[in-house]
Amino acid sequence: MAGSEFISLIGIIIAFILLMGSIILIIVVNKAMKNGETFVAKPMDIFHEDADYPSGLLALLPLILTILLINVKIDGKAIVPIEAGVFIGSMLVLIFLNKYQDNNKILHNIGEASKISIVSITNTCSVVGFGAVVKASLAFPSIVDSMVNIPGPDYVGVAVGTTVIAGITGSASGGLGIAAPLLAPVYLAKGAVAGAIHRTMTISSAALDSLPHNGYIVTVTNGLCNETHKDAYGLIFWLTVVTPFVGSIVAVALFSLFPFLP
C-alpha cells in the first residue's frame, strides 16, 4: 500500500477511543444540565476565588517535561529512569509554581502527597498480587486453553484472551504481564504478526481491567475524589470498559486486514 508506512493503526484506534469517550462525556453532561444538576462541593473541596492562579500551560509544564524525560530515548535509552523523572517533575512543580504556593504548607502538602502515593502503590500491588494468585489457581490453565482455541481470526483470540485475563486479575499491567508470555508464543506459531499481537494486547488489556475491584479505580474514586462506587462507577464503566472494548473490536478488524502496519 503506497504511503502505508506513514499510517499508524494504533494512532487511528486511540483517536477513535478518544472521540467515542468525548461523545459519551458530552451526552452525559448535557443530560445532567438538562435535568438541572449542578456541582456540589464536598468538605475537602476548597476554592479561593480571589487567589492568583497560574496559567494552564504553566501548570501542565512540569507534567509535560516529566513525560518527555521518561519517554524520549537517546541511543535506545530514556533520558532518565522513571523514578528520577517523576522526582524531577515534582521538583519542577516547586520551582515553576512557587509564587502560587503557600510556603508555610509545603511540608504538609509533601506529606499528603506521600500518603496518597503509598495508598496508590499499595492498591496497585494488591491487585497485581491478586493476579498472581489467580495465575497459580488450578482453573487458570483451563481458561488459557479455552482462550487459545477461540475460532476465527487469530487477533480475536489475542484480544479476548488478554481482556479476560486482565479482567480476572483486575489490572491491565498485571493481566498483560500474565497474558503476553502465555498467549503470544501460541499465536506467533499460528502465523500472527508480532507487532500486531503486541498492539492488540495493549489495547484490549484496558477494557475489563477497570472493573470495580481495580486498584486505580478504588484509589481515584474513593481515595482522591471521595466518591462512592454507586455514584461514580456508572460513567467510569462507560469510559474505561465499554469504550476500550469497542476500541478492541476496531483493533482486531484493522490488524486482521493490515497486520504489518505500525
Per-residue HEC secondary structure of 164-219 comes to HHHHHHCCHHHHHHHHHHHHHHHHHHCCCCHHHHHHHHHHHCCCHHHCCCCHHHHH
DSSP symbol at 3: T
Query: What cell numbers appear for 260 in the block?
Result: 504489518
SS3 77: strand
Q: Among residues of the chain, what percentage have pLDDT more than 90?
A: 16
Return the pLDDT at 5. Answer: 43
* pLDDT the model gives residue 218: 81
Instruction: Kindly report which listed range (43-52, 73-82, 149-158, 228-237) carries the lowest average pLDDT score.
Output: 43-52
Is 44 contained in some domain? no
Confidence band of 243 (pLDDT split at 50, 70, 90): very high
pLDDT of 249: 92
Query: Does residue 176 sit in the same domain as residue 231?
Result: yes
Q: What is the pLDDT of residue 52?
A: 78
Q: Which residue has the higher pLDDT, 102 or 199?
A: 199
Same domain, 143 and 197: yes
pLDDT score, position 60: 92
28 part of a folded domain: no
Residue 2: left (phi > 0), alpha (psi -120 to 50), or beta?
Answer: beta
In a domain, 107, yes or no: no
Whether 160 and 253 map to the same domain: the answer is: yes
Quote the pTM value.
Answer: 0.69
With respect to residue 146, please indicate whether it lies within any of the assigned structural domains: yes
Same domain, 239 and 145: yes
Same structural domain, 159 and 209 = yes
Residue 18 has pLDDT above 60, yes or no: yes
Is the pLDDT score of 6 beyond 50? no
Does the structure show a pLDDT above 80 at 71? Answer: yes
Look up residue 228 and give its DSSP letter. Answer: -
CB 226 within 8 A of CB 44: yes
131 with 97, same domain: the answer is: no
Q: Between 25 and 220, where is the model more confident?
A: 25
Q: pLDDT class for 31, splitting at 50, 70, 90?
A: very high
Assess if residue 171 is contained within a domain.
Answer: yes
Number of domains forming the structure of the chain: 2
**Does 46 reside within a domain?**
no
Query: Do both 87 and 149 map to the same domain?
Result: no
In the three-class reduction of DSSP (H, G, I as helix; E, B as strand; rest coil), residue 56 is classed as helix
Instruction: Examine residue 212 and state whether it is found in any structural domain, yes or no.
Output: yes
Mean pLDDT of 229-252: 90
Q: Are residues 261 and 160 both part of a single domain?
A: yes
Q: Summarize pLDDT for 184-209 with one digit per residue, the tens.
A: 888 898 888 888 898 899 899 888 88
Angle between the N-to-C axes of helices 9-34 and 194-204, in degrees from 0 to 180, rounded to the nearest 10 = 10
82 domain residue, yes or no:
yes
Interval 113-157: pLDDT, tens: 888 788 778 877 776 777 778 778 888 788 777 777 777 788 888
Nearest-angstrom CA–CA distance, 49 and 45: 13
C-alpha distances (whole Å) from 258 to each of 15, 128, 255 are: 18, 33, 5
Residues 183 and 259 in one domain: yes
Provide the grid cell at 129.
498480587
CA dist 63 → 60, 88, 115, 120 (Å): 5, 10, 20, 18
Q: Are residues 181 and 262 in the same domain?
A: yes
Residues 133 and 85 in one domain: no
The reply to whether 82 and 161 lie within a common domain is no
Domain range for 236 = 119-262
* d(C-alpha 221, C-alpha 123), whole Å: 12
pLDDT of residue 262: 67
Q: Going by C-beta distance under 8 Å and a sequence separation of 6 or more, which residues neighbour residue 103?
A: none
Of 66, 101, 136, at which residue does a domain stop? 101
pLDDT at 22 over 90: yes
Average pLDDT over residues 89-106: 82
Residue with the larger pLDDT of the pair 3 and 178: 178
The number of residues in the chain equals 262
